[in-house]
Amino acid sequence: MFRAIRLAIYGVAMLLVVVATANAAPYANRPAGNDLFTASDVALNAKTGKMVWYYQFVHHDEWDYDVPQNPTLFDFRLHGKLVHALDQPLKMGENFILNRVNGKPLIPAPEIRQPQSPQSPNTSKTQPIPQGDMFAQRCATPEEWLQSGGKSLIGPDGNPIIFGCIFTPVVSTNYTLSGWHDVADWLPSTFSASTGLMNICATENRGKGYEAIPLADAKPIPGTGSYTEVNGLSAGDNAFGHKGEIFAYDPHTNLIAWNSVLPGGNACYAGLASTAGRVLFAGTGEGKFLAYNAATGDLLWSSGQLDGSIGSSPIVYKGSDGREYVTLIVGGTSEGGNIAVQNDSVYAFALPK
């Protein structure tokens, strides 16, 4: 997952490729250290492959907090100066805004001390926490776990589930829910140049827990699920039966300007697209295509029922006839399991002539 950008640095044009990176493996039982350059954005010189900068969002990740989403690149004025920026939403509801020239946070993200456990001695003592709003709850609760599909407060091992906050260590004696999970997944965000707001697709009310496999019992097999050296626990499917929301962030403050809940109890599990006319497009798992006012979050229009679930990003373009079109693939998503309506349709929408 990457974006290519051209920058003028010290008067010399440079083409950068920015890569959002995945987890370290296995999740548990690793030696101490930050595990560079996992769970990071890494900028490479496209001509030489040499690293120009990196920013690690999660040190020594053991919670599946990788960075699945493309960074969104945009320019805006901050303190009176034009800034080349990069926005990176994370799975657990944090939003980082970086300077894409040097990778440094435009919104401060100080290193904050995190809880430690003797059962998980190698976790990082601090994590970068961006100032501003989160678009998910920082902590998991028993009430939300049961509401979102969890069947019991006792884990499959017969021990009580630990309900913690993001970065609560994963241990081998209990399943631990370290806050919410997969709130912003691979689904692309969009910056609306006409409103100056960053728009993020999120799915709320969803927890995921892990229990570390004791090192003496761990028998990782590369290329299989056992290689994580953890057992997982989920309240249900990621993309269905949960509340979907669109969040609009002001990049000057990293505060939420507005949020809008998708109709019909749909998760937000499709990419977003914005237009110069202050329209924001999104799709739903039940197969409805939606248009929002990008300045306020008000729903402007909803399509009829489409042939399948929407799990793709809309594409906005000008046709040979001069009209503006919005096209999307309606093919479902693997996150929906048997609930997702698989299809191979392609739709194109346009305003009347």
Return the CATH number at 46: 2.140.10.10
Structural domain includes residue 117 = no
Helices (H), 15-151: 142-147
CA distance 111 to 210: 24
Please write the tens of the pLDDT for every residue from 46-86: 999 999 999 999 999 999 999 999 999 999 999 999 999 99
Structural domain includes residue 12 = yes
**So what's the pLDDT on residue 13?**
54
Cα-flanking dihedrals φ and ψ of residue 264, to 5°?
Answer: 80, 15
- Distance from the Cα of residue 209 to its chain's centroid: 17
Helices (H), the chain: 142-147
Average pLDDT over residues 315-340: 80
Average pLDDT over residues 127-148: 94
**So what's the pLDDT on residue 171?**
96
CA distance 269 to 262: 11
Domain count for the chain:
1
**So what's the pLDDT on residue 341?**
61
Distances (CA, A) of 37 to 18, 54, 89, 181: 13, 8, 17, 21
**So what's the pLDDT on residue 340?**
54
Please write the tens of the pLDDT for every residue from 162-184: 999 999 999 999 999 998 888 99
**So what's the pLDDT on residue 228?**
84
Strands ordered across the beta sheet of 279-283: 273-274, 279-283, 289-293, 299-302
Length of the chain measured in residues: 353
The DSSP bridge partners found for residue 215 are: none
CA distance 303 to 262: 13
CA distance 103 to 96: 11
**So what's the pLDDT on residue 331?**
78
| 220 cis-preceded (ω within 30 degrees of 0) | no
* CA atoms within 13 A of residue 130's CA, in its CB half-sphere: 28
Structural domain includes residue 162 = yes
Please write the tens of the pLDDT for every residue from 272-305: 999 999 999 999 888 899 999 999 999 999 998 8
Structural domain includes residue 53 = yes
**So what's the pLDDT on residue 3?**
53
Say yes or no to pLDDT of 219 above 90.
no
143-157, 231-245, 288-302: which range is least confident on average? 231-245
Look up the domain containing 46 and give its range: 2-107+131-350
- Helix, strand, coil shares of the chain, percent, nearest 5, are 5, 40, 55
pLDDT tier at 243, thresholds 50, 70, 90: confident
**So what's the pLDDT on residue 19?**
95
The sign of the CA dihedral 123, 129, 135, 136 is: positive
- Distance from the Cα of residue 232 to its chain's centroid: 19
Supply 17's token pair.
Answer: 């490729």
Distances (CA, A) of 175 to 166, 213, 242: 14, 11, 22
Structural domain includes residue 221 = yes
- The amino acid that residue 292 corresponds to is Y
Average pLDDT over residues 329-352: 74
Return the SS3 of 114.
coil
Structural domain includes residue 126 = no
Say yes or no to pLDDT of 10 above 60.
no
Q: Position of tokens 């990049």? A: 251
**So what's the pLDDT on residue 6?**
46
**So what's the pLDDT on residue 333?**
66
Structural domain includes residue 309 = yes
Structural domain includes residue 112 = no
Decide: 42 and 18 in contact? Cβ < 8 Å: yes
* Global pTM exceeds 0.85: yes
Average pLDDT over residues 36-40: 97
- The amino acid that residue 172 corresponds to is S
